[in-house]
Amino acid sequence: MAQAMPSRSPLIGTRPPVAAQKEISRIAEMRGVHSAFLYLHNQEMEFRRWQREVAETPAPPFGEATRGEWLRSRFSSLGLEEVQTDDLGNVFGFLQKDFSQPAVGVSAHLDTVFPMGTRLETREEGTRLYGPGISDNAAGIVAVLAVASALKRAQLHLAANIVFIGNVGEEGEGNLRGMRHIFATTPWKDAIHSLLVVDGAGTDTYVTQALGSRRFEITFRGPGGHSWSDFGIPNPIVLLSRALARFSEVVVPESPRTTFNIGVIHGGTSVNSIPASATARVDLRSASMEELHKLEDRLRECMNEAWSEVPLPYRAGDPKLRFAIELIGDRPAAELAPDARIVQVLRGVDAHLRINSIARLASTDANVPLALGKQALTIGAGGDGGGAHTLREWFDCSNRDLGLKRILLTLLTLAGVDE
């Protein structure tokens, strides 16, 4: 997941409703749930082996197939139903046979930020595992698998099905393509009403607000020419610079927090040539879709203003002279209603397990179902972690089972269960 920040959600500090608490206590006392908890506690060494295997299986953006195949074969050997991989590489397995009934989903992204060829060695020191992607998101994949395995053994009678998902395309240029595909094309896109996204380590936060982002590549083009003999023709680097200088002065609100960044710029060929093109990449982010669109409008205005300063004979007369703005990344902003059931359930579970957690704002796979009006939350896989997106990444396995119990109890409460 991308970096998270505290949410301004009004939920912080309020108590979970009594009804949810009672239901959670009832479920936690079931014999099948006890044995599932015991399994999650006792299998820690096995989970570590899985986690190292996952992290050592490459899964660069757009190259998740081998890791997906690893997960698919695990789902099959657990005896999950309807185990399959879709045409994008998302992997699915259902707890119960009828996969058209309403379902609660639990997902972990398969992809890492590490390009093909990165040395994916892992090592273990005490309770710590080290290796690129060991926490983000090998820990999440292990959590989904561990909970699937525990629930499969527990043989409980659920009112709704549970679908376990390993999805592609969460990081960077993946642009949430896996999740988009799941909620746009799969046969169960409507059946999944709630989704728990497991991303990275920890038990101390939950993401209720989806940070939206829109990314653009903006380009100015001209005929190009010689710095001396063609002097005076419009210069795309100058036009781009003017547009960006204007845009950099935009005032963004602190709440809902809104930011922008000009991250990449290139253009031109040599110091004595008037360039034929100049390009920049701009990242816009906000917790509010409205603010995001306002910022985008301003970016377009700034380009238009820079363009309008080009002398008319050039603007009208030379087809080589033009500008373009291209959308290169798009993640919807959205927010759960304060009384959303999934939040009440998670907070009830946290109270039951004596977990202190706070609501956060981040960009995760949950952006997609949230923007569709579904209920979705992102939480960690337990344990502790750090160094995400670096080669020094680590995961501390201590008390991992607390995070796994949290996921299991949340899923069961959302699905509804009788012994």
Q: Which two tokens stand for residue 101?
A: 């009934």
Closest approach, Cβ 328 to Zn ion, in A, equals 20
The amino acid present at 408, given as its one-letter code, is: L
Q: How far apart are CA 310 and CA 273, in angstroms?
A: 19
* DSSP 8-state code for residue 62: T
**Of 1 and 36, CB closest to Zn ion:** 1
Centre a 10 Å sphere on the Cβ of residue 252 and count the other Cβ atoms it contains. Answer: 16
Closest approach, Cβ 141 to Zn ion, in A, equals 10
Closest approach, Cβ 133 to Zn ion, in A, equals 9
Closest approach, Cβ 403 to Zn ion, in A, equals 15
Closest approach, Cβ 272 to Zn ion, in A, equals 47
Closest approach, Cβ 147 to Zn ion, in A, equals 17
**Of 122 and 161, CB closest to Zn ion:** 122
Of 107, 146, 111, 109, the C-alpha closest to 132 is 111
Q: Which of residues 264-303 bind Zn ion (CB under 5 A)?
A: none
Q: Which stretch binds Zn ion (CB under 5 A): 58-66, 128-136, 189-197, 224-232?
A: 128-136
Of 189, 157, 162, 310, the C-alpha closest to 240 is 310
**Of 133 and 212, CB closest to Zn ion:** 133
Closest approach, Cβ 280 to Zn ion, in A, equals 27
Tell me the DSSP string of 194-241. Answer: EEEEE-SSBSSEEEEEEPEEEEEEEEEE---EETTTTTTS--HHHHHH
Closest approach, Cβ 193 to Zn ion, in A, equals 23
Q: What are 267's strand-pairing partners?
A: 278
Of 183, 212, 166, 91, the C-alpha closest to 374 is 183
Q: How far apart are CA 72 and CA 59, in angstroms?
A: 14
Do residues 27 and 406 lie in contact, with contact meaning Cβ atoms separated by under 8 Å? Answer: no
Do residues 307 and 291 lie in contact, with contact meaning Cβ atoms separated by under 8 Å? Answer: no
Centre a 10 Å sphere on the Cβ of residue 289 and count the other Cβ atoms it contains. Answer: 17
Give me Rg for the CA atoms of the chain.
24
From residue 12 to residue 51, what is the string marking binding to Zn ion with x (rule CB under 5 A)?
Answer: ----------------------------------------
Closest approach, Cβ 82 to Zn ion, in A, equals 26
Q: Which of residues 188-247 bind Zn ion (CB under 5 A)?
A: 199
Per the document, the length of the chain is 419
**Of 137 and 219, CB closest to Zn ion:** 137
**Of 167 and 279, CB closest to Zn ion:** 167
- Which residue from 137, 161, 286, 367 is in contact with Zn ion, where contact means CB under 5 A? 137
Q: What are 81's strand-pairing partners?
A: 94
**Of 1 and 211, CB closest to Zn ion:** 1
- Which residue from 1, 158, 346, 414 is in contact with Zn ion, where contact means CB under 5 A? 1
Helix, strand, coil in percent for the chain, rounding step 5: 35, 25, 35
- Which residue from 56, 136, 350, 393 is in contact with Zn ion, where contact means CB under 5 A? 136
**Of 7 and 167, CB closest to Zn ion:** 167
**Of 5 and 159, CB closest to Zn ion:** 5
393 binds Zn ion (CB under 5 A): no
**Of 137 and 279, CB closest to Zn ion:** 137
How many chain residues bind Zn ion (CB under 5 A)? Answer: 4
Q: Which stretch binds Zn ion (CB under 5 A): 89-97, 130-138, 258-266, 293-301?
A: 130-138
Phi, psi of 4 (to 5 degrees): -105, 155
The angle formed by the CA atoms of residues 304, 307 and 312, to the nearest 5 degrees, is 125
Residues that bind Zn ion (CB under 5 A): 1, 136-137, 199
